[in-house]
Structures are given as C-alpha cells and as structure tokens.
Structure 1
Amino acid sequence: MSATFVSGSSVPGDSGDSSEVRTTKVGNVASLSQVQKTAIDTHGNVFKVPDYTIKDILSAIPKHCYERSLVRSLGYVARDIICMTIIGNVGYRLIPLVESQAIRFVLWNVYAYCLGLFAFGLWILAHECGHGAFSDYTWVNDTVGWILHSYLLVPYFSWKFSHGKHHKATGHLTRDMVFVPYTKEEYVEMKGKSVISEVAEETPIMSFLTLIFQQIGGLHFYLLTNATGQPHPEYSALGRSHFNPSSPIFEKKEYWYIVLSDIGMLCTFALVYWWSKTFSAWSAFINWFVPFMWVNHWLVFVTFLQHTDPTMPHYDDSEWTFAKGAAATIDRNFGFVGQHIFHDIIETHVLHHYVSRIPFYNAREASAAIQKVMGEHYRYEGENMWLSLWKVIRSCQFVEGDNGVRMYRNVNGIGIKPTDSKL
C-alpha cells in the first residue's frame, strides 16, 4: 500500500517558488520518504526535477544503437549533395525560361529554399562529425566535418569545442555555452530599472523585430561575440569570439585547431569569389549565399526551440547534474523535413543530449528506450514549430527561482507573473 502527500506546494502566482513532494511507502516494518524538488513553470504547472540517474538512462539504450557505419554516413552526405545538384541543374536551367518576372521571383525563392534545406542537412551531418557519431574514425569525422562546416561558414573545430562544452553543462546557468537565459536580476539591470514592475511590456512588433534579427544574424552574432553564451566581461566582444584562438571559450591546446577553422572559412570566401568571377555573381548569390542564409535561419530556429520553452528549467550550480541538465531540452516535430532532410535532429534531441555519439539513424529507437526511464520528465511539443517560435519569444524572457531551479518568466503578461522584489 502506498500514499502520496504534498506539502508546501506552490500554486499559480508563486512565481517559481519551491515546493516539496513527499512520497511515503508504508510497509509492514518501515517507511521510506523521498523529497523531490519542484517549481512552477510559465503556464502555472508543477515542474518536477528529474530523480533518475545517467546510469538509468544509459542502461536502457540497446547496445546496437551505438554502432556507427562510415559507409552509411557517407551515403547520407552523398544523398544530400546529389539532391542539391539535381535541384541546381534542373532549376537553374529551367527557371530563366519562365516569361513572367513575378513567377520567376517566386520560383527562385523556392529554388534557394530547397537548396537551403539540404544544405542544413549537410550541416547536421557535420555536427554528427563533431560529436564522433559519424564514424569510428576521428580523422574522417574531422575531415568531413571541417569541409562541410567551412562551406557553410561555420568554424568547425571552434564549434566542436564550444558545442561539446555546451553538452557537458546543458541547463547550467553559469557553465552552459549557448542560449543562457537572463536571470531576473540581469534582465532588470539590462533595462536600467530597479524592480520588475518598472519594465515595460514588449510590444508584438518589437518581439517580431527581435525574432527577425535572431533568425537572420543570430548565428554569426553568436560566433563573433559569444552572444547568448557566458559573458566573460573581462574580454571584449571580439576577444571572446569563436574566431579568436585566444578566446576564453577555448583551452590553450585548442589554439591551432581554431586557426584551422578560420582557414576553412577563408577557403570558402576564396571559393565563392572564384565562383562569382568564373560563372557569375548571380550564380554565387542564388546557389550559395541565399541557401547559406537559410542554413543560418534553420540552425537558430532549431537550436533555439530545442533549448527554450515555457516548461523548461535552468539550474543553479547547487542543483545541476548532468542527468537533470540533459533533460532540460525538448523534442519537437517538423514532419517530413525534420525526419528525412534534417536527419531527426529535432525529433530526438533529448536523447542527443544524453548520448551524442549515437548516430541519427539509430536515434529513434534509442529515444523510445530512454523515454521509458524519463517518464513525465521527457518533454515533447508537437504543435507547429513556427507557432512555437512566436510563443517562446514572447513568453521566455528571463528565469527566476529561489531553490536552485529557475523557470521562465516574462513582462508581457503571459502566464505566471514574476516576483517584484527590489534587486
């Protein structure tokens, strides 16, 4: 026989204050009491801090899910490049034959959009290389990853090192490397106010403009200045750049790898310059630059929504563990494109944070296995991701909490109101 007692629980309006859930199992001889921390999310629902271990997660994953096939991985690279080649050869020859300028404009945009989808697929495969999920051979992983990421103007080793640290400290307020939210105190200080009630609501048009900037320039603003990463106030914006071998993001032993990443970028600039001179500026623009901009968008779109949600916690140092932090991510659904072109990076991202070396083609099976362990702690949102993007940008402005668990709040009147104590 068992009984569940709830004591000191928060109710909507408590702005994330802690509660304790005590579960007592009554037997013939003794009783067992376990305290589980909770918080209140933006919607006013009780969030329970995960109580399983990383060993529980790893034990649930079938061993064959870890197997990596170089031939299969290279096959996906070839598939994506072939698809881009077919689109390029067919579209670039046929679209100029269309007489209507308006229809040509639409077709060129569809053309570049389709190229951008498969280009982002290649980015994801390079991301697999950085995690060692591409093959059993490090030199193959780094060679393929360096070529693909450089072509898309992402510094491969720089990204690999900082992204690896992100995986080691996901959800940690002072150690995570990207999408680190403002605390309430930091948000108020940024607005130049003394209390949260003095901060004006953000208008929808301002949210929209913020979203446009984030989607167009967010990636390279992050790479150039480490925006949304740890602040490192003792360094200038460029001093903490992903392109700077001496950036505090990296260790000294990584110096020449960062230089090699920068060389990869320079090679791409040289290639695009040669391309525009040999063929035409238009050819380079529509076949490389516009798809490159779509890759920028998709990367920010996907990663932002994987790590930001009104139900998602962040942890102080006193409360964070790897198992809790890896669960501070969310799976979403992007339909056919997500599964077949974006290589399931959206649909199996929670698993990816627990075991990043599992190749994407084994991820669905492994994800289903760990969901049985995670139970209610597994988060999934199946609504349209464009709708989610708007909801998240409006509702997730900063985090607050006083028990080591911080939940998102906003000044836009959405969900639970933040506390209004003086800072």
Structure 2
Amino acid sequence: MSTITYTQRRPSISLTGGDKAQAAPVPDGNGNDFTPPEFTIKDILDAIPKRCFERSLARSLSYVARDLVLVGILGGLATQIHHIPYVWGRAIAWAAYTICQGLVGTGLWVLAHECGHGAFSPYRLANDIVGWILHSSLFVPYHSWRISHSKHHKATGHLTRDMVFVPRDRETYLKSRDIAELVDEAPLATVYFLIVQQLFGWPMYLLTNVTGQKYANVAKWKINHFWPSAPIFDKKDFWDIVISDIGIAAAVMGARMAILRFGWQNFVLYYFIPYLWVNHWLVCITYLQHTDPTLPHYLADEWTFARGAAATIDRDFGFIGRHILHEIIETHVAHHFCSRIPFYHGEEATQAIKKVMGTHYRRDSTNLIVALYRIARTCQFVEGPGAVKMYRNGNGIGVDAKDKKAE
C-alpha cells in the first residue's frame, strides 16, 4: 500500500523575491494545493544531531569489503551453474545471478557516490582513490560525475540550473511528440519509453547530457561527461576530467583483457548483464527520487536551496534498499539537505528533519516498479501560472485532463 506524506499549507512570502507575496497555491498533479515550504536550511541543519555528521573511513571501508566479498561469492557460485543438468535450470540460475550481482554492484556504486560527496570519510584523498576505483570499474567517470552531481545538489528543483532530470514544459513536450502523439496515451507507449530509459538512460546521460540543461551555441559532441572542456564543467576541472577518462580507459582495457582471456560469452554473463542491471537501478532510483506528481520545480524567483532539497521524495525498497543499496532510496531527502552525512546516519537524520519539514516531507512506499510505471504516465512536463511549476501529463490523468490536447 502506498503512503504519501503531503502538505497543504498557507501561502508563504517568497524568500528570494523581496516583499512580494507569493501567488495563489498551485495544484499539484494530484489536484492538491501546493505552496512552497518556509523553513530554512539552518532550521534543518540545526535539527540534525551532530553525531550524524561523523564519518568513519574504517566503517565505510568495511562496507566496501563486504560488498566485494558478496561479488566474489556470487561469482564463485556462478562458476558452478554449468553443472546444472537442465537448460531451463541454467537459464534460471544465470538470471538469478545477474539480478543479484547487479544489486550488489549498485551497492558499490552507491559507496562510490558517498566518496564523491565526501561522506565516505573525512579524508579527501581516500575518498577520491576509493571512488575512482569503484566508479571506473563500473564505467563511470568518477570526477566528471562527481562535479556535475554536486551542481545538481546545489540547484535541485531549479528549472534553469539543475543538472539532471530537468523537466520539459508543455510546449517542448508537444514539439517532441511528432508521430508518437498517435500512441503516447497508450500504456504500451509508456512501457516502451521505460525500456529505453532504463537500458540507455544512464550511458546517454554521460555521453549526451540527456535530461540535463541545454547549452546554446555549443556543439553537441562537446556536451558530455568525458570532454574536459565541456560546458558542464569549469576550467579548473580540466585535469579531474582527464583523470576520470584515464579510469574509463583502464576499465575498457580490463574488459578487453577479460574477453580475450575468458571469451565474450563469459564476459557478457558475468559482467555485462549485471552492469545493465546496475544502470537500470541507478536510473530507476534517481528518476523516482526527483519525479512525482507532488514535487514542485521552481524558477529563480521562488527557488531556495531548502525548497530545492525538499523537492525530493523518499521511497522504500525493503531489505534490499536498507542493506544492499545502503539506504540511498529511503533517506534521499536528508541526503539533499546535507550530502556529507554518511548513509549509516541517514535514518537518524531523516527522523530529525521530519520534525522541521512537517507535512512537506514526502515518502511513498509504492513498489518501485509500480511507481516507475505510474510516474512515467503522470509526470511528463511541468507548468504553472507563476514561478512554481508542477507536473502534468498528456494522458488525461489528474489535473488539467481537459487540456491534454492543448497546443
């Protein structure tokens, strides 16, 4: 059963727009009135116990060691699959292996993500070494993504500054429909969109900055996470990007050696399919953390850091989320208010900030796959009369259903 905590509060005064009163509440995608929160980042940080900010290199490394042991155990078990006498039994075993190894790989990705935020330990060099190794092994350019992800955290929910999952407006959405307009209301079209997003969304983001900001007068081939002079980065980031590219080159060489040594079939089964599962979970997790009918997006006049951080939602993946994926799903709201809090203090920090956020804290316990389909159907573009924009869709679901054919 889904449980969503939501707010209906009195209109507030803009924190960035002088003495101008905010416009009337904007209905969210479910039809509930939304007004931006009034608390400040200081209110949030003051509520979090100081022990939540304590980082331990030894403790963090123990989680890396645990996950690597799990990788080894799963790989060892997979070497015995060929002993299963029936083809269907081997197929089931390989499917189970790739799914489980993909989840463990995602957990290692999350620990590298902790390194990029400085939440892994108080030591930057240790963070960068561990993060570079772990991310490179998963074909992620460590510093490149660390930098763009940091900018995302600094501008979450800001329509012109956020770095990922920047929603389209109605006009852009309608222009993108073309022939797809004939079928975009069909559930099968949503399934097709999700398959493409889940398989190719992550590499396409790294290669083309899809769902990121648009950069006018810049060649498309320069807008990626591998070009040191890409507009995503600042000039000071040049050598960090080069170091990231060296990590990817090393991973490519490692993959080539593995294929030559063990054959491409084994490479696909042992590494590549689990790698695709890792990509799936990354896109699923991040998409659902920042996309929901209840979540706002802001233009500059109404955006503040606290409002942007609050424009996120916690979800639930049960034992897997808590123990394999290191609570990245369950404590993401707190993570956006202070990304240097290590994941093992995330739950305590979450309970603390809920007291300040009140009904502005959002949590949805819907099954992740069900939520993925539902969100893809309901959150297709944002619009609103003022500087606060809410999700709408072209499927006639929720608010403004009568306007779904509007041009």
Q: Same fold, TM exceeding 0.5?
A: yes
CA distance in 2, matches of 1:230, 1:351: 25
Q: CA offsets, 1:359-395, max 9 Å, x none? A: 0001100110000000000000011111110000011
Paired residue for 1:344? Answer: 327
The reply to whether residue 51 of structure 1 matches residue 38 of structure 2 is yes
Q: CA deviation at 1:114?
A: 0.8
The reply to whether residue 21 of structure 1 matches residue 10 of structure 2 is yes
The reply to whether residue 101 of structure 1 matches residue 87 of structure 2 is yes
Residues 183 and 36 of structure 1: is their aligned pair in 2 closer, same or farther, counting only changes over 3 Å?
closer
The reply to whether residue 415 of structure 1 matches residue 398 of structure 2 is yes
Question: Retained in 2: the 8 A contact 1:21–1:35?
Answer: no
Q: 1:181 aligns with which of 167, 175, 183?
A: 167
CA distance in 2, matches of 1:192, 1:386: 28
Paired residue for 1:26? Answer: none
Residues 199 and 270 of structure 1: is their aligned pair in 2 closer, same or farther, counting only changes over 3 Å?
same
Question: Retained in 1: the 8 A contact 2:312–2:362?
Answer: yes
Q: 1:65 aligns with which of 41, 44, 52?
A: 52
Structure 1 counterpart of 2:209, which letter?
A: N
Paired residue for 2:298? Answer: 315
Larger relative contact order (CA 8 Å, sep ≥ 6): 2
Paired residue for 1:80? Answer: 67
Q: 1:155 aligns with which of 141, 150, 156?
A: 141
Q: CA deviation at 1:207?
A: 1.1
Q: CA deviation at 1:277?
A: 1.6
CA distance in 2, matches of 1:361, 1:414: 38
3-state DSSP class of the match of 1:387?
A: helix
3-state DSSP class of the match of 1:21?
A: coil
3-state DSSP class of the match of 1:323?
A: helix
Q: CA deviation at 1:22?
A: 6.1
Paired residue for 1:246? Answer: 229
Q: CA deviation at 1:316?
A: 0.7
Aligned residues: 390
3-state DSSP class of the match of 2:271?
A: helix
CA distance in 1, matches of 2:222, 2:294: 34
RMSD over aligned Cα atoms: 2.0
Question: Retained in 1: the 8 A contact 2:314–2:362?
Answer: yes
The reply to whether residue 141 of structure 1 matches residue 127 of structure 2 is yes
CA distance in 2, matches of 1:173, 1:38: 19
CA distance in 1, matches of 2:117, 2:154: 12
Q: CA deviation at 1:183?
A: 1.0
CA distance in 2, matches of 1:159, 1:318: 28
Q: CA deviation at 1:149?
A: 0.4
3-state DSSP class of the match of 2:162?
A: coil
Paired residue for 1:16? Answer: none
Q: CA deviation at 1:297?
A: 0.4
Structure 1 counterpart of 2:173, which letter?
A: Y
TM-score by length of 2: 0.92
Paired residue for 1:90? Answer: 77
3-state DSSP class of the match of 1:314?
A: strand
Paired residue for 1:376? Answer: 359
User: Whose strand proportion is higher, 1 or 2?
Assistant: 1
Q: CA offsets, 1:140-197, max 9 Å, x none? A: 000100010000011100000000000000000000000000011222233469xxxx
Paired residue for 2:277? Answer: 294
Q: CA deviation at 1:201?
A: 4.6
Paired residue for 2:339? Answer: 356
CA distance in 2, matches of 1:352, 1:301: 17
CA distance in 2, matches of 1:337, 1:420: 38
The reply to whether residue 216 of structure 1 matches residue 203 of structure 2 is no
Q: CA offsets, 1:202-245, max 9 Å, x none? A: 32111111100000000011111100000113223321111111
Greater Cα radius of gyration, structure 1 or 2: 1
3-state DSSP class of the match of 1:180?
A: coil
Question: Retained in 1: the 8 A contact 2:228–2:238?
Answer: yes
Question: Retained in 2: the 8 A contact 1:146–1:261?
Answer: yes
CA distance in 2, matches of 1:363, 1:312: 21
Q: CA deviation at 1:422?
A: 7.8
TM-score by length of 1: 0.89
Q: CA deviation at 1:78?
A: 0.3
Residues 298 and 173 of structure 1: is their aligned pair in 2 closer, same or farther, counting only changes over 3 Å?
same
Q: 1:268 aligns with which of 246, 251, 255?
A: 251
CA distance in 2, matches of 1:136, 1:257: 20
CA distance in 2, matches of 1:330, 1:378: 8
CA distance in 1, matches of 2:183, 2:277: 33
CA distance in 2, matches of 1:148, 1:36: 47
CA distance in 2, matches of 1:199, 1:253: 47
CA distance in 1, matches of 2:25, 2:141: 39
Question: Retained in 2: the 8 A contact 1:61–1:370?
Answer: yes
3-state DSSP class of the match of 2:320?
A: helix
Paired residue for 1:232? Answer: 215
Q: CA deviation at 1:420?
A: 7.6
Q: Report which stretch shifted further, 322-331 or 203-212.
A: 203-212
Q: CA offsets, 1:102-159, max 9 Å, x none? A: 1101110111111111110000000000000000110000010001000001110000
In structure 1, the gaps of 5 or more residues are: 1-18, 24-33
Paired residue for 2:376? Answer: 393
Q: 1:130 aligns with which of 111, 116, 123?
A: 116
Residues 370 and 199 of structure 1: is their aligned pair in 2 closer, same or farther, counting only changes over 3 Å?
farther
3-state DSSP class of the match of 1:50?
A: coil
Residues 59 and 108 of structure 1: is their aligned pair in 2 closer, same or farther, counting only changes over 3 Å?
same
CA distance in 1, matches of 2:103, 2:136: 17
Q: 1:38 aligns with which of 25, 44, 53?
A: 25
